Structure formats: C-alpha cells, structure tokens
Structure 1
Amino acid sequence: MSGRLSGKRVLLTGGVANIGLAILEQFIAEGATVSVVDIDAERGAAVEKRFGGAVKFIRADLSQEAEIKAAISQAAEWMKGIDTLCLNAGIQLSGRLEDFSTGDWDKVFAINVRANFIFVRESVQELRKSGKASVVLMSSLAGKRGAAGLLAYSSSKAAVIGLTTTLAIELARDGIRVNAVCPGWIDTPFNQPVIDFIGGREKQESLVPLVIPLGRQARAEEVAPLFVFLASDESSYVTAQSINVDGGIYN
C-alpha cells in the first residue's frame, strides 16, 4: 500500500465485520489511525488486539444519542482530533408491507439515518479544525432503486442519499466534503434478511446472472477501496456524490 491515508484520524462505525471490517483493513494498510465504534464488544476487542495501537475500539449503541456523543468524545480525545467520519454502521430487516411493524421501521431509521445525522452534527467542530475533512456515508443501491421486502431499508438508504447531498452543500464552505457509497449485491452475511425474503441462497444465486451485468456478487474488499479514495486527499474536489459499486446494475 502507498500510505494514502497517512496521518488521517478516522472515526469508523460498524467496523468489526462485513464491509466495515474490509474498510478498516484497508484504512490501516493505508496509514490511518482509526477509532472503531460498534455495539459488538467481542469483535471490537478482537480488531483492537489485531491492529494494535492503530485502532481503538469504542462500544456504543447507535440508537442512543448519549452513547454516540460519548463515543465521539472518546475518539477525538484518543486521536487528538477527527479528519474523517466513515459512517458504515447499519441494519437490514426484511418483510412484506403489511407484516412490517412500526417498531422495526423505527429501529432501521434510528441506526441507518438518525445516528448518521447525530454523528455529523456532534463531530462538525472537530471536522472544521481538520482543514481537509471528509464524511463518507454508507448508502445502498436499494436507496436508488428500492427492493421488494426491503421497504424500511430502501427508504432509509434513500434518506442517506438526501442527507449526503444536503450536508455536502451546507458544509462545503467549511472545507468538509460529504459523499456516499451505494453498494449493490455484496456477498456478506449482512444481506441474509433479503436472501431469506427472496427464498434462500440458491434462489439468490440463480438471480445473479440475470440481474448483474458482471455476472457475480462483489466481495467486501471490492467495496472498501472507494471508501479509501473518498477519505483521501485524492478526492479533494469530490463532494455531494452517491457512487455505485454494483457490477453495472444501475445503468
């Protein structure tokens, strides 16, 4: 690796598994120092041990505003500031419209949208001091196209796209760039709810060549490099974008 993030102080949410772990691995390989915020204490301790002094794990329930604020404070103190917010944490729940509860709808929006808003609001003073700050949010192709059985998830990811463009416009004068990544079909356990909804793994795999022009699902490590680019100074003139990583589905 080339040290593209050397000296960057990153707060990464959801960095202990799936795409988040792939992002963490590539951020560390490129020279960043990372505070990982996640609810999974066991996996969090494992990543902190694995990466030594380059990573600090901070446990937080992102449905709780007070815990988000405390996590930001701990991260900023440990890293002596924050240059990049990488807001990857999310949840996915599936179900038909008439079977989907209001409680589950609120749970999805609390983690996928509300937490991101709080993270940016409460970190903005640190980001302003950075001088070259970047915010990278995790959206989804589902936020652009929608998907049967993913009403709450698709709606929440569409909201993330709206949040991204609005924050980018508002924070541009502060030198803070804001972008989103929109993965398509990525082969990770995170997508199990939609796999179950469409009839299982075999059914999903039968759809892959029909739906994805490249004819396969992506691996998590194929999504992470875009986060590196958007966190780095290489993307200094890129803001307000929601960029697909989808094998050609959205065309």
Structure 2
Amino acid sequence: MAGRLEGKRIIITGAVGNIGKEAVRQFVAEGARVVIGDRDATGADTAREFGAAVHFIQVDVTDEASVRALVDRGAEWLGGLDVLAQNAGLQHSGAVTDFDAAKWDALFAVNARAHFFGAKHAVPLMRKAGRGGSIINTSSLAGKRGGPGMTAYSASKGAVIGFTTALAMELAGDNIRVNAICPGWVDTAFNQPAIDFMGGAAAQAQAVKAVVPLGRQATPAEIAPMFVYLASDESAYMTAQAITIDGGVYNS
C-alpha cells in the first residue's frame, strides 16, 4: 500500500549510507518529507538524489548544540516534526583487556548519548504540535547478545535499549511512541571493525553460516521496512519495544 507515510515529517540521522540511506529511500517512496542529518557533507548529494522531498543538514551527533540545531532547523523546514529516527552509529571492536578508553567513550557518545540529545530536543516540538509522534532508536542484536570483541559496542547498544524502554514510559501520556530496531549481521561496511577482529571476511562468512539460522546476512533493504512501519500509523499501539531483525540468532 503506497502512501503509508503521506504527510509525515521525519528527521533521520546517519542517513548517508547503508541502512539509513535505504530508510530514506523507503520513507520518500511512502510519501514522507525527510530531513537527513549526517556529519558527512556528501549528505547534500544524498538529498539531491532523492529530490525536493529531502533536505540535508550537517550535524555532529556528539555535540548537543549541533543536534539541537538539526532538530530545530529540520522541523522548521518540514513545518513540524512527527518522527525522529536516530540511526547514526559507530563501531569499534577489540578484546576488553586491550580496549582503549577513548574508543569506549566515543562509542557511548555516538551510540548512546546522541539518542538522549535527539530526544531531549525533539520531544518539546512533538508535544507542542499535539499530534503525538514516533522516536525510532537504532540499537543492535549486540545490545541484547554480545560476543567476543564486542564488549564496548554491546554496552553502548544495550544502553540504547534501556533508554528506549524508559523513555517510552515517560512519553506514553503524550502519545509519543519510542521503539528500537536491533539489526543482526547486515552486509554493510559498518561492520568492518568486527570483521577484522574475527580474522577477515572469510572467517566472518563462516561464522554467519554457523550462527544465523537463515544462513546469511541481511541487506539494508531488509532492515529499512521496520523504520517505515514504526514511522507509520500502523504501529500506533507499539511502544517500548526493541525489535530484533537478525535471521533468527536471538532465539536460536
């Protein structure tokens, strides 16, 4: 059914590549207008690729003032705000005994604290409009089930799940829904640090076949429809959920 997001006004971070870009593609295809925020200036090219329904604002999600500017300017361009999709992410891998504290802090700044900044400044706009809203956070299977070399990344993504469920309870009275998407292995360059830790692409491919019941990685196009669903009114009764899309790993 086309037009599932007709009239929806969406801000999404981390939208230059991988899952985020595919989410934008599907948002626009369903009738939404979208502001994409990314630290990569090529986001302007991404916006042009999708046409007049998409606008780019450069943002550093680790800086609260920058996030506030994204939300305020984005909502001004959109004429309001219905959906905040927080997809910016960072990955570092390594054994806990060798892991650098600066990398730990960087993971939490991008993967966890940035979600706080986005919600802090988006919620007042949603409340003022009085139309409710949807906040979509991006966690990971690693936030539910970690693995070797993933302690810091898993901790940062686990924090997103805790933040999501608590915020959903806080905002339920405003009809602002808050959910998290938890992808498993997805075939993107984002996972390269984990692949390197595992010993390279061949070792990672063997591990995927061994642990993923469906026997393969997802594509971004298989994750993005959940963004559309959570942005749409079809998910009006869903909040406080951490939805895993992982080919069956979590239940195996």
TM-score norm. by structure 1 comes to 0.98
- Structure 1 residue matching 2:60: 3-state secondary structure: coil
Which residue in the other structure is 2:68 paired with?
A: 69
Which residue in the other structure is 2:48 paired with?
A: 49
Check the 8 A contact 1:139/1:182 in 2, yes or no: yes
Which residue in the other structure is 2:111 paired with?
A: 112
Residues 125-204 of structure 1 correspond to what in structure 2 (within 5 A)? 125-128=124-127, 129-204=129-204
Larger fraction in helix: 1
- Structure 1 residue matching 2:51: 3-state secondary structure: helix
* Partners of 1:152 and 1:27 in 2: CA distance: 31
Gaps of 5+ in 1: none
What amino acid maps onto 1:132 in structure 2?
A: G
Structure 1 segments of 4+ aligned residues over 3 angstroms from their partners: none
* Partners of 1:203 and 1:39 in 2: CA distance: 32
* Per-residue deviation, 1:53: 1.2
The answer to whether 1:79 aligns with 2:78 is yes
* Partners of 2:108 and 2:178 in 1: CA distance: 20
The count of aligned residue pairs is 250
Superposed CA RMSD:
0.9
* Per-residue deviation, 1:132: 3.4
* Partners of 1:174 and 1:24 in 2: CA distance: 26
* Partners of 1:31 and 1:99 in 2: CA distance: 47
* Partners of 2:33 and 2:209 in 1: CA distance: 39
Check the 8 A contact 1:132/1:233 in 2, yes or no: no
* Partners of 1:48 and 1:215 in 2: CA distance: 34
Check the 8 A contact 2:132/2:174 in 1, yes or no: no
What amino acid maps onto 1:108 in structure 2?
A: L
Q: Percent identity?
A: 54
TM-score norm. by structure 2 comes to 0.97
* Partners of 2:176 and 2:105 in 1: CA distance: 29
* Partners of 2:183 and 2:228 in 1: CA distance: 15
Check the 8 A contact 1:179/1:241 in 2, yes or no: yes
* Per-residue deviation, 1:130: 4.7
